[in-house]
Structure 1
Amino acid sequence: MSTTTDRPAIAMDVFERYESRVRSYSRSFPTVFKKAKNYKLWDINDKEYIDFFAGAGALNYGHNNEKMKKLLIEYLEEDAITHSLDMATVARGEFLKKFDKVILKPRNLDYKVMFPGPTGTNTVESALKIARKVTGRNTVISFTNGFHGMTIGSLSVTGNASKRGGAGIPLNNSVFMPFDNYVDDTSSIDYIEAFLENSSSGIDLPAAMILETVQGEGGINAASYEWLRSIEKICRRFGILLIIDDVQAGCGRTGTFFSFEPAEITPDIVCLSKSIGGYGLPMALTLIKSDYDIWEPGEHNGTFRGNNMAFIAAAEALGYWETNKFSQEIAAKAEMMSSFADYIVHEYPELSAEKRGRGLMQGVACEVAEISEEICGEAFKRGLLMETSGPEGEVFKFLPPLTIDQEGLENGFQIVEDSIKSVLNN
């Protein structure tokens, strides 16, 4: 049986020669990886890396999670169904039952589960479509620095100029409002209400508002629970559907399964992807309040909305949420991360930095954006995967697997601090 050690060596120039210029992460992490386990990766030179990236949040349960791997191998050996579109399969049914039992019922949530396709942008596209279909309205309000995907509908509600520019066409039917604390630590609630109340504001009554409770790509900006509750009240007052994009912040990333739980709000539509597949396998869900599930059969579809391998891993991943133990572990690690971020801000005033985020989705924003990029580059050289976020790449962010242990966090933090010292001393 072939192993990673007896496969032909691959050089970096292969990707330069054959692959499109559009690739990005292979530029940030310029090595060829061959193996990974939990929060560590190894490249073809057997160099070890700590992972503070976690597949951009798709690997909350770590690389090659042992329980999931065992079930996937057994499933393949049984010649069970792998591809099924939206046909009924045992794996699909078992996932649906467990998701209802472990996630929805304990939280008193009444959602229909839609499988819109394999990626985050698929769930956002379906959410926008059903909101418009339910309300009969066109406009969607999104928020400054929000990121919701790379297809046309998702880009229309994404704030980043460079990503929007890649669309090649005008992006319409959306209006942007200020996110919480967007300007001078002030709330945007009064501003949003004023626009909706004023018949001369130029804003048509929207079908929906879409937001991330913690903006991942937008700079690890965490909305306050008070702000989220106020947004929900506005939506109820005006008959606007509330869509929470929990693609990156969900599945435990902020400490609870859904990131909006501590705010005690109930979105009309929830978008999930990334770690919902458990093992890093492509999968997405759109959760729709039952009253709004008015699709006609086949009105929204996709060839790869039946990834049964993902259903197997996803069902196993839900086992982490059968008790409060996993959430408590995340909270303890999040406190370590928060303390470290505070330490960096205080100990290195040259960064002119501020702490951002929540749970195991935190970061440090530097006044000079280029410094964050340099720190991430230096961290990679020292054996840590970490990326930047924010409109100018000004935040270096910590996004490790939720299964990382205390030693892994401490070792990662040490590399971050060593990298900061190196950059500031150059």
Structure 2
Amino acid sequence: MENSEEQIFFRFQSNNEISELLNQIMLFKQLFFERVSKQIDDDYEVNNIWSQFIIRYLQYPDYCLLFKNQIQITADYYLLQHLTKKGFDFQKDSFILRDLELFNNNISSKFNHTMEKIATDQEGLSQDLNLIIYQQKLNNTDEYQYNICDYNMLLKRYKDVQNVQSDNDKFVYQEPNQQFSQEEKDKDFTIANQSSQEINNTHNDMKMNQKIFLTLFWYNYIGIQNGQQWSINSEVFDILKQHLDINTELFASPFNRNLENYFSLFESDKYFGSFGNFNKNYLNIQQSFQANPPFIDNLFTHFASQILQILDINNQKNREIGCVIVFPWQDNQGYYQLQSSDYFIDEIELLKNAHYYTDQNSCSSIKSKFNTYILILGNNYFKEKYLQFPYLSDSIVEAFQIKKDKIQMLKQI
């Protein structure tokens, strides 16, 4: 990151419960990166291991706690497997699991409590998280800092959501004050608004910036803002919307969502247009959708069962329902479960080095060094719609392909 890049800075005015939690989380991440980087000299791989570990924990906390019953046996054996595969020797750092356990136990309950507090939008949030916000050129500061483009993106989406809610409230009837003349009412209203409006605006801006800050922090903590969540490109989304009426996206974020409706990791993402955490809300889905889950093997297996539940519920209620699922592997239980289901319609294979994903954070296209498999599933209503376009699969393949005018943007990962 160049020194001339403008950043947005957040500073806490006082110590409080939330700031203590954030500091603990920051120390947890620093511990992991410092210890693992001593043996794995690849920043991308270290960040990838961290991101997969945290996403598993956020999606399935009961399953993915590091330790159970104070026994030195990890429940998340995928973390051990991933570290070992990349060359980490636990005999050279025999205390790393113990140290991760201590941080994990301290953070877990506080983290969940904080996320619930944000999601319910309690007024106490303004007391617990009182911060100062400013922007300047990047310098060596210990305060929380983020790219101003990310801040502006969340600012716009937050205001868009507020505007929609405001439009829905416009028709609320208010009883007029019959004790004063219209002139007196206007005068009193003007005087009152000059003071109260400023207070309300300041309060609303503070709440808005609190939510923006926490969202920036959570996604930076996970690592998604460092290239860990790729998206299919806009041409593919246009085809899915136009021909299959797909306007809902799963596993997106406020930073990289492409469709109007989307599910994400955090309930608090609802302030930025999300329907909330997919795992908590997936049974409410009543329309066809697209899903490009994080490339984490055991998540795909659990995800497949949820997809079939969604299809079953909507099919029983005689609704048209279908989905387009992106898989990076075939050797996965979730892949076989979906491909062998009664809802399976078609499969599209994209060859490695001949298609690309999009990294919206860096505004670049990423050439895929692995095959991608796209599964089309749905009930009979959705199947009839899909079969109306015999060349639709060819159009999807073409939209995924690397275009000559994008060659300059490609980067190998």
| TM bin (shorter chain) | under 0.3
Larger radius of gyration: 2
Structure number with higher helix proportion:
2
TM-score, reference length from structure 1 = 0.27
**When the two structures are superposed, what TM-score results if normalisation uses the length of structure 2?**
0.28
